[in-house]
Amino acid sequence: MEDRFVKELPEKLIGDKAYDNDALDKRLAEQGVELIAPHRRGRVRKPTQDQRKLRRYQRRWKVERFFAWLFNYRRCIVRHENKAQNFKAIILFACIMIFLKSFFHL
């Protein structure tokens, strides 16, 4: 959470089943962040998530789809640049291309 891109902590963090961890849940709650993650199968203790919160998780596919589009650009998959600022510029350029394609159907 210390290496985030935004200044403020998010109110809610959405993760997949790998984030179903009591220690992580507790640590994020101490920072004021609510973790929304579905429970793994065979979980011993009773579930803590209600179904309303998991509806937000179901919209997570939009983020997954964005990363799939981002990795269509070869330079985003393998980092060839030595400087972090150059790699960040390439990622931002790919994001701009994805954004423009959604509006102009290029």
Q: SS3 for 12? A: strand
What amino acid is encoded at 32 in this protein?
G
Q: Are 15 and 35 in contact (CB under 8 A)?
A: yes
What are the C-alpha distances in Å from 11 to residues 15, 38, 49, 88?
A: 13, 18, 16, 26
Report the pLDDT value the prediction gives residue 41, as an integer from 0 to 100: 66
Report the pLDDT value the prediction gives residue 93, as an integer from 0 to 100: 92
Q: Where are the alpha helices (DSSP H) in the chain?
A: 22-30, 51-58, 61-70, 74-77, 84-104
Report the pLDDT value the prediction gives residue 49, as an integer from 0 to 100: 57
Query: Across the 106 residues of the chain, what is the mean pLDDT of every consecutive 10-residue run?
Result: 73 74 81 74 59 64 82 82 87 90 76
This prediction has a pTM of: 0.48
